[in-house]
Amino acid sequence: MTDLNFTHRFVPAQESPAPRALLLLHGTGGDENDMIPLGRDLDPTAALLSPRGNVLENGMPRFFRRLAEGVFDEEDVIRRAHELADFVSAAAARYEFDPNRVTAVGYSNGANIAASILLLRPEVFAGAVLFRAMVPLVPSALPNLAHVRVLISSGEHDPIVPVENAERLAAMLRTAGADVTLRFEPAGHALSLGDIEAAKSW
Ligand code: MLT
């Protein structure tokens, strides 16, 4: 059944009716509280929806299973991407935000599940900010993402996500029609101030 089957926080918008919303997606070991301050900083008036990943890896919440660092259980990625996409539409009905004005903001594992939803459920997001994302899966056919804006903010020295992997993700989303900005921060896997500033001006 499609229901609100994620532990989550919701912060109402400061505008109405049918406000836009940010879907905030934490990294491995995070929870529904982590991204709230960043979300408010990026958009002072949007509704904020922040779920906790349903998968546990040694007690650390994630949004899908992995076999090793950077090696994903693709079947689980697909299943969890659909589960989260269904959660977003159920939450839009429950909390009365506009399902056509949802922007994902994800870090690391959260960015990877957001990229998976872009590839598998192209109707869910109007935009996506992907911090330290990589190619999460290669779909059998590319979706139509002509209506979607994407910012990929990657680390030049990220030991987990090689530069060419971030470039491959950008190319894939562009081929699907998305309006993609790919930028590199002189940083590793951790976020830095430059990432936040870039997301704000994007
Ligand atoms: C992932 O598992 O999604 C990536 O390896 C990033 C991470 O969460 O460490």
pLDDT bin (cut points 50, 70, 90) of residue 1 is very low
Q: Is residue 160 part of a domain?
A: yes
Q: Is residue 2 part of a domain?
A: no
Q: Establish whether residue 136 lines the binding site of ligand 1, counting it when its CB lies within 6 angstroms of any ligand atom.
A: no
Domain limits at 183? 8-201
pLDDT at residue 16 in the model: 82
Q: Is residue 51 part of a domain?
A: yes
DSSP 8-state symbol, 188: -
Total structural domains within the chain = 1
Whether residue 4 is predicted with pLDDT greater than 90 in this model: the reply is no
CA torsion, ordered 145, 74, 166, 120, to nearest 10 deg: 10
Whether residue 2 is predicted with pLDDT greater than 50 in this model: the reply is no
Tokens for 56, please give them.
Answer: 């546990």
Q: Is residue 1 part of a domain?
A: no
Q: Is residue 15 part of a domain?
A: yes
Kindly report the protein residue whose alpha carbon is nearest to atom 8 of ligand 1.
109
Q: Is residue 153 part of a domain?
A: yes
Active-site hit among 108, 116, 153, 154: 108
State pLDDT tens for residues 169-182. 999 999 999 999 99
Q: Is residue 137 part of a domain?
A: yes
CA–centroid distance, 29 to ligand 1, in Å, is 10
CA dist., res. 128 & res. 150, Å (int): 5
Q: Is residue 3 part of a domain?
A: no
CB 51 within 8 A of CB 61: no
CATH number of the domain at 91, please: 3.40.50.1820
Which helix H or strand E contains 76, and what residues bound it? helix 74-95
Tokens for 161, please give them.
Answer: 């996500």
Global pTM value: 0.96
pLDDT at residue 3 in the model: 57
